[in-house]
Amino acid sequence: MQITQIIPASTRLVDAAKQASVSGLHLLTDGKRTILSPQRLPGWFRIGVSIKEAA
């Protein structure tokens, strides 16, 4: 069972996106807080980030 995790404000977006990708979770925001969640939640918006590693 996966649990929703609140991302601290000090976390960089790219780090949160990598964590979401590795754990298979959605990166969501309500405009004030950012979370990792196993499912999309009503009133929360998905943050889409494309991570391209340097060649």
Residue 44, classed as helix, strand or coil, is coil
What is the pTM assigned to this prediction?
0.83
Dihedral pair phi/psi, residue 23, rounded to 5°: -90, -5
Number of structural domains (the chain) is: 1
Quick: pLDDT tens for 1-55: 568 899 999 999 999 999 999 999 999 999 999 999 999 999 999 999 887 878 7
Distance CA 20, CA 18 (A): 5
Alpha-helical runs (H) found in 2-55: 13-23
Residue 51 lies in a domain: no
- Domain that residue 33 falls in: 5-46
Dihedral pair phi/psi, residue 43, rounded to 5°: 85, -5
Residue 53 lies in a domain: no
